[in-house]
A = this chain, B = another copy of it.
Amino acid sequence: MIPTITAFEQSPDRGRGLARDMRVRWALEEAGQTYAVRLVSFKEMKEPAHRALHPFGQIPTYEEGDLALFESGAIVLHIAEGHPGLLPDDANARARAITWMFAALNTVEPPILDRGIAMMLEHDKAWFQERLPLLEGRVRVRLGELSRRLGAADWLDDAFSAGDLLMVTVLRRLSGSTLLDEYPNLAAYVARGEARPAYQRAFADHLSVFRGSQPPRETNST
Footprint of B on A, CB under 8 Å?
A: 51, 55-58, 66-67, 69-75, 77-78, 92, 95-96, 98-99, 101-103, 105-107, 109-110, 113-114, 121-122, 125-127, 130-131, 134, 142, 145-146, 148-149
Contact = CB atoms under 8 A, between A and B. Distances in A.
A78 B103 contact: no
Nearest to A75: B99
B106 A71 contact: yes
Label chain A's interface by main secondary structure: helix
B55 A69 contact: no
A95 B110 contact: no
A71 B99 contact: yes
Oligomer copy total: 2
9 contacts: A71-B103, A71-B106, A73-B106, A102-B105, A105-B106, A110-B110, A110-B114, A114-B114, A125-B131
A146 B101 contact: no
B95 A67 contact: yes
A109 B107 contact: no
Nearest to A106: B105
A99 B81 CA distance: 14
Nearest to A113: B110
B57 A145 contact: yes
Given A113-B110, A146-B55, A98 B127 contact: no
Given A114-B114, A149-B55, A69 B99 contact: yes
